[in-house]
Amino acid sequence: MLYDTQAAAMVGLQQQFIASARLDNLLSCFLAIKALLASDDSHASVLVCNDHEEVGSVSSAGARAPFCKRCWSA
């Protein structure tokens, strides 16, 4: 398996942005988990964090995998 090993970096005119591989995926999953944990128990809640999160990904761990078939067939 190959993956990006480049270190994260501060970028922008004033070094105000963080650039890093997989940062968007990790951040969105982290924030979704925090929101789920902070929610009340007034209704059922489910969070799915796919390995291949792109809509249309048909891999076994993707957003259109059989595991979530009901999610994307509605």
User: What does the pLDDT read at residue 16?
Assistant: 94
How many other CB atoms are there within 10 angstroms of residue 63's CB atom?
19
Q: Write the pLDDT tens digit of every residue in 47-66.
A: 877 766 555 566 666 666 66
The amino acid present at 8, given as its one-letter code, is A
- pTM of the complete model beyond 0.85: no
